[in-house]
Amino acid sequence: MLFILLYLFFISPVFADGNKAIEVALQEYIQEKDARIGVAVIINGKDTVSVNGKRDFPMMSVMKFPLALTVAHWVDANGMSMNDTVTFSENALKEDTYSPMLKKYGKSRNSMTVRELLEWSLVESDNNASDILLNRIGGISGATQIMRKIGVPDDIEIGASEDDMHREPYLSYLNRTTPLAMAQLFDRFDTEMRNTLLLYSEIANMVEQCRTGIDRLVAPLSSSNTTIGHKTGTGFPTSDGRISAINDCGYVNLPNGERYSIAVFVADSGYDMAETSAIIAEISRIVWIRLTEQKKD
């Protein structure tokens, strides 16, 4: 009892002050930027730092993460495994979209395992693989039903497929989330879900191998022996010369024992792709440095 009281009165306020310092540093960095930026960080599953964390942002390909969770649940609920085969028609392989899978295989393959499709979707952010999976579980309505069943926050909504968004880019705004909701999902996934189902643990391995957007959240952490699982999202040029969205969200496990989830969304950016990605990298660095120093103190 004495230890608990000492923690509450002496140690806990130190961490509260440290988290407030992170929030202030983020606010100061963000306020001068020519973009709409939202950030949420959940530290050790309990302490939350947020700047515009409850505002809506388009997910772009970040939506492939909650989609993957629905696929895993659907596979398990139907007594299937990651090794089961999904067949698809040649029409499912769109040529005018981002698809390294199509670039590698062409249209010669009309079936892949669930694992292969998830790897293409999460590791490489392949749009065709994502839509094949989405259609297999019942489309948007099927994904929505499963998301609510497995406890994905209501503020995360999938309202358009990758093909929908390619045909009409502004439909991407139907795939929306708040930074706080996405940080909560990644935090729950890292601390709970990945340990409850083998399929979820495989998804963890995939997001920890993500090859897209390495100049974003990952950039300042690449040499720190840190484990990071993340999913990126990249938007499109708008009619007024901006970029609709550049995002990166995930979980981070530091060598010093600290862990946190982080969601960063940059919408309507007045900068180019590299400059916008650098904003996310700097936000990642601010959080990482502050938590590392706080742990030392």
What pLDDT digit, counting tens, does each position of 221-261 carry? 988 889 999 999 999 999 999 999 999 999 999 988 889 99
Helix (H, G, I), strand (E, B) or coil at 232: strand
pLDDT of residue 249: 98
pLDDT of residue 225: 87
Give the closest residue to 42 by CA, choosing from 259, 289, 194, 286. 259
Helix (H, G, I), strand (E, B) or coil at 113: strand
Residue written as token pair 């963890």: 204
Residue 3 clears pLDDT 60, i.e. is over it: no
Helix (H, G, I), strand (E, B) or coil at 177: strand
**pLDDT confidence tier of residue 17, bands split at 50, 70 and 90:** low
Diameter over CA atoms, the chain: 68
pLDDT, mean of residues 190-214: 97
Question: Cβ–Cβ contacts within 10 Å for residue 168, how many?
Answer: 10
226 and 60 Cβ atoms separated by less than 8 Å: no
How many angstroms separate the Cα of 105 from the Cα of each of 108, 136, 137, 198, 242?
6, 20, 24, 28, 34
Which percentage of the chain shows pLDDT scores above 90?
A: 86
Question: Cβ–Cβ contacts within 10 Å for residue 203, how many?
Answer: 25
Residue type present at position 151: G
pLDDT, mean of residues 208-226: 94
C-alpha–C-alpha distance, residues 118 and 80, integer Å: 14
What global pTM score does this model have? 0.92
Residue 1 clears pLDDT 70, i.e. is over it: no
Give the closest residue to 206 by CA, choosing from 130, 289, 265. 130
Burial 92-111 (b: 16+ CB within 10 A, else e): bbbeebbbbbbeeeeeeeee
- The partner residues of 261 in beta bridges, in order of sequence, read 42, 251
Residue written as token pair 């952010």: 125
218 or 3, higher pLDDT? 218
Q: What does pLDDT average to over the chain?
A: 93
pLDDT of residue 112: 98
pLDDT of residue 29: 97
Residue 220 clears pLDDT 80, i.e. is over it: yes
**pLDDT confidence tier of residue 296, bands split at 50, 70 and 90:** low
pLDDT of residue 294: 65
Residue 265 clears pLDDT 60, i.e. is over it: yes
Give the closest residue to 213 by CA, choosing from 183, 188, 233, 239. 233
C-alpha–C-alpha distance, residues 24 and 75, integer Å: 43
Q: Is 219 exposed, middle or buried (0-12, 13-18, 19+ CB in 10 A)?
A: middle
Residues 6+ apart with CB under 8 A from 166: 94, 96, 97, 127
Structure tokens, 192: 């709970």
pLDDT of residue 11: 42
Residue 9 clears pLDDT 90, i.e. is over it: no
pLDDT, mean of residues 1-13: 42
Residue 2 clears pLDDT 50, i.e. is over it: no
15 and 48 Cβ atoms separated by less than 8 Å: no
Residue type present at position 278: A
Which percentage of the chain shows pLDDT scores above 70?
A: 93
Helix (H, G, I), strand (E, B) or coil at 80: coil
pLDDT of residue 295: 58
pLDDT, mean of residues 81-102: 96
pLDDT of residue 4: 42
167 or 180, higher pLDDT? 180
